[in-house]
Structure 1
Amino acid sequence: MMGGARLVGALALVAVVAAMAATVTGAAAGPRAQTLRFDQLKGWAKDDFAAALSTFLVTCPRLKDPDWHETCAAARLAGDDPRGFFESYFRPVLLGDPKQALFTGYYEPELTASATRTPRFAYPIYRRPPELRPGAVWYSRAEIETRHLLAGRGLEIAWLDNPVDAFFLQVQGSGRLHLTDGRILRVGFDGKNGHPYRSVGREMARRGLLPKHRVSAARIRSWVKDHPDRGMTMLRHNPSYVFFRVLRLAANRGPLGAMRKPVTAGRSIAVDPDYVPLGAPVWVEKTGRNPLRRLMIAQDTGSAIKGPQRADIFYGSGAKAGRIASHVRDGGRMVVLLPVARALAMENGG
């Protein structure tokens, strides 16, 4: 996921819907909200609703608000008619302007690593330092690395053989590490230093170091390899720094999202929880090279995911998923499915 920023409580959902309802009445500034019919969703009838229901069930028990609790209870009994479940218990709500829609992709890297430092494996990933408090601003990436603020403190989880791999592992927020001793270590987001995320690829394009429309992790990796000193300085353009913890997950499960449950390839998205409730179904109409029309579940967040028409699609684990995710930067439309009572309250301005 596009860089960490996890864990938003379900209680925030009440405030989200209240804010959206106020928008309808003009009582507060915010995104335009429009209730739609299901037959207005392009490709709706052709989706795999059983797959969407299965993903919804992973996180719906964490939604404790009464109307969400009711939908979750019904979802457990909807195995024979998943499409009927979504159409009976939800209404589609379009938030914001689809012209501003932006879909990107994220994935879970699979990397070779060592449990100890060696001449080859010299780039560590760290546990969260005990003095770092949630939400506090700590030292920047440049300060952490140039002043060696974490070195020698026993916070190292593993060592990678490439600084760009270590960097992008932080951007994605999770990974599978294939250790040289044969073990597989799953790591996930456990905090950040409080600085905003800045895109290194965008900055390299601005400086003319890479072609604007051909920026990718592979090209950044190659450039840093060819320009090691300038490369490290370039990576430090992003002051955000992410810390990890070791996860105990089955090999066939995805990494943990913001709701502390595994995300599902092709069915989970990261959203801005200021607009889209975590756990909500979201109809995605993504344009571009590989268009998607699919019901996904908002189960994650990301520091670069801002706005009512912004989503990061989880594409899975490994290099293939990474190649696909790195090329996604498309428009389209996303429509949130809200419980009927909430959608009607917004429609009536209550």
Structure 2
Amino acid sequence: MPHIGSLDILILTGIGMTVKQIPKTAQTRSMRYTINYLLQNIFYSLILSFLFSGCSHRFEDSENRFLFEADGRDLDEILYSRFPDMDLRESIYRDDMQLLRVEFSEIEGWDRDNKKGSLLAFVRGCEQKSRVNIPEICEEAKRIYSSNPSNAEITSFFENYFTPYLIIDLEKERISGLVTGYYVPILNGSRTKHGKYRYPIYAKPKDFHIPYKTHQEIDEEGIDADVICWVDDRIDRFFLHIQGSGIVKLDDGTTIGIGYVEQNGYPYRSIGGYIHRTYGVPLHKLSARYIKNWLKKHPDLVDEVLYYNKSFVFFREQKSDLAFGAMGTNLVPKSTIAVDTRYIPLGMAIYIQSDKNRNLNHLFMAQDRGGAIKGVIRADLFYGFGEEAGREAGRTKVEGEFYMLLPYGFEFID
């Protein structure tokens, strides 16, 4: 695991870190790597020169950034290949997460990234109460935003007030993680139950407790809760629960928004995985659109598949042109993400680098969370509203490296 090198020269700041807090696995691997590092580097250089003479550019090709993670090298070797001086760099440890100090110039695509949406998301986040928000930095962000700044000015703002750190997953021994996408779906509904409008969107139950009734029990037995509206498609309602918010076009011509308020306490279980294991559908086919179409072609299996996931979400009514994240902000499409807040606090700026998706290589604000978003290096990218956003979200399942931008004056609190 990666703190690598002599413990007495590790620079630890900001959180009252002590040597005994460094994971033991990190210390053990550090000692082992220190002994072998120079010999291994010489050995690998000779072998690679021999095997890949004439095509050494392969290791610098941006399309192969994750080659090191696929060629059998362990985390120490990956990190030393990228950061030969990492023994001298500042590191911060938080449970299974290590933050390794880097320079902005070392982050691929940083200078080219259009950060106007990032600044807007950051300013909106400053309106909420968060320990990530440093008053002086928020005031400067608002001042800059009001001046119609150039992208260069926005980039300078983040460089002047933040310090970048590469996020490392110590448990999984990785420097990259999964990025998926989500969106706000649009459903058809009615304020009253009639005709095709048979599937309720519930508010939080009056007798709510955890664990509450399962998905199947709620459908079959009913619950003591207000119904915000009734929708015409239970499969669309299921995917609404996954997304956490949506828009409902009512049969009286009006439109309402609905947003996540609570969940019944059962962990989300993937129906795509269930369809794959039970009915042999290849995993690569199982996008949201494919699953919807598959269920509609197999109506006799809808109960079995949907009830495999015991999770059930309750909602609140909100404005139809807003998508509120867990932080309470109106999310900015393609500039905000949902994260696992055990590791990344809401409001934190996260740059995600990946050559596998054109919407990445971008600075995002962590302003939401989700039940399926678990892990040190894990994010769900918010794409916006409607069908096109849904298509983009459904196509997003890529690896990326995460860089946390710590604002000056911020300290982690145990």
* TM-score for the superposition, normalised by structure 1: 0.84
Say whether residues 1:329 and 2:329 are aligned partners.
no
> In the alignment, what sits opposite 1:138?
212
2:197 partner letter: F
Structure 1 counterpart of 2:222, from 149, 153, 158 = 149
In structure 2, what is the Cα distance between the partners aligned to 1:90 and 1:84? 10
> In the alignment, what sits opposite 2:303?
232
In structure 1, what is the Cα distance between the partners aligned to 2:164 and 2:134? 15
Say whether residues 1:274 and 2:351 are aligned partners.
no
> In the alignment, what sits opposite 2:367?
299
Q: Is the 8 A contact 1:49 1:82 kept in 2?
A: yes
Structure 2 counterpart of 1:84, from 156, 175, 180 = 156
In structure 2, what is the Cα distance between the partners aligned to 1:324 and 1:229? 29
After TM superposition, the structure 1 = structure 2 runs for residues 198-217 of structure 1, keeping only pairs within 5 Å, are 198-217=269-288
Aligned length, in residue pairs: 320
Deviations 1:105-131 (CA, angstroms, capped at 9, x unpaired): 000001111222222222121111111
Segments of 5+ residues of structure 1 without an aligned counterpart are: 1-16
Distance 1:307 1:66, change over 3 A: closer
Say whether residues 1:106 and 2:106 are aligned partners.
no
Deviations 1:80-124 (CA, angstroms, capped at 9, x unpaired): 432221101100111224544100000000111122222222212
- Runs of 4+ in structure 1 over 6 Å off: none
In structure 2, what is the Cα distance between the partners aligned to 1:240 and 1:32? 32
Deviations 1:216-242 (CA, angstroms, capped at 9, x unpaired): 222222222232232112111111100
In structure 2, what is the Cα distance between the partners aligned to 1:208 and 1:289? 30
In structure 1, what is the Cα distance between the partners aligned to 2:259 and 2:123? 22
Q: Is the 8 A contact 2:132 2:345 kept in 1?
A: no
Say whether residues 1:177 and 2:248 are aligned partners.
yes
2:326 partner letter: A
> In the alignment, what sits opposite 2:376?
308
Aligned-residue offset at 1:294: 0.6
> In the alignment, what sits opposite 1:127?
203
Deviations 1:10-30 (CA, angstroms, capped at 9, x unpaired): xxxxxxx849x5699516742
Structure 1 counterpart of 2:108, from 42, 53, 63 = 42
In structure 1, what is the Cα distance between the partners aligned to 2:225 and 2:326? 27
SS in 1 for 2:143: coil
Aligned-residue offset at 1:305: 0.9
1:131 partner letter: D
Distance 1:205 1:64, change over 3 A: closer
In structure 1, what is the Cα distance between the partners aligned to 2:328 and 2:235? 27
1:84 partner letter: S
Moved more, 198-207 or 222-231: 222-231
Segments of 5+ residues of structure 2 without an aligned counterpart are: 1-13, 24-93
Deviations 1:137-165 (CA, angstroms, capped at 9, x unpaired): 1111122123x222xx5622112221110
Deviations 1:149-202 (CA, angstroms, capped at 9, x unpaired): 22xx56221122211101001110100111111000100011110111111111
Which has the greater radius of gyration? 2
> In the alignment, what sits opposite 1:61?
127
In structure 2, what is the Cα distance between the partners aligned to 1:318 and 1:138? 31
In structure 2, what is the Cα distance between the partners aligned to 1:23 and 1:239? 43
SS in 1 for 2:326: coil
In structure 2, what is the Cα distance between the partners aligned to 1:66 and 1:234? 41
SS in 1 for 2:275: helix
SS in 2 for 1:164: helix
Say whether residues 1:167 and 2:238 are aligned partners.
yes
Structure 1 counterpart of 2:22, from 22, 26, 46 = 26
Q: Is the 8 A contact 2:205 2:225 kept in 1?
A: no
SS in 2 for 1:62: coil
In structure 2, what is the Cα distance between the partners aligned to 1:209 and 1:182? 42
Q: Is the 8 A contact 2:246 2:257 kept in 1?
A: yes
Distance 1:331 1:163, change over 3 A: same
1:86 partner letter: F
In structure 1, what is the Cα distance between the partners aligned to 2:247 and 2:257? 5
2:286 partner letter: V
* TM-score for the superposition, normalised by structure 2: 0.72
Q: Is the 8 A contact 2:268 2:372 kept in 1?
A: yes
SS in 2 for 1:288: coil
In structure 2, what is the Cα distance between the partners aligned to 1:229 and 1:52? 45
> In the alignment, what sits opposite 2:69?
none
1:266 partner letter: K
SS in 1 for 2:373: coil
Distance 1:126 1:265, change over 3 A: same
Q: Is the 8 A contact 1:24 1:32 kept in 2?
A: no
Say whether residues 1:257 and 2:305 are aligned partners.
no
> In the alignment, what sits opposite 2:268?
197
> In the alignment, what sits opposite 2:136?
70
Distance 1:331 1:140, change over 3 A: same
Aligned-residue offset at 1:69: 2.6
SS in 1 for 2:188: strand
Deviations 1:294-343 (CA, angstroms, capped at 9, x unpaired): 1110000011111221000001100111011012110021111001344x
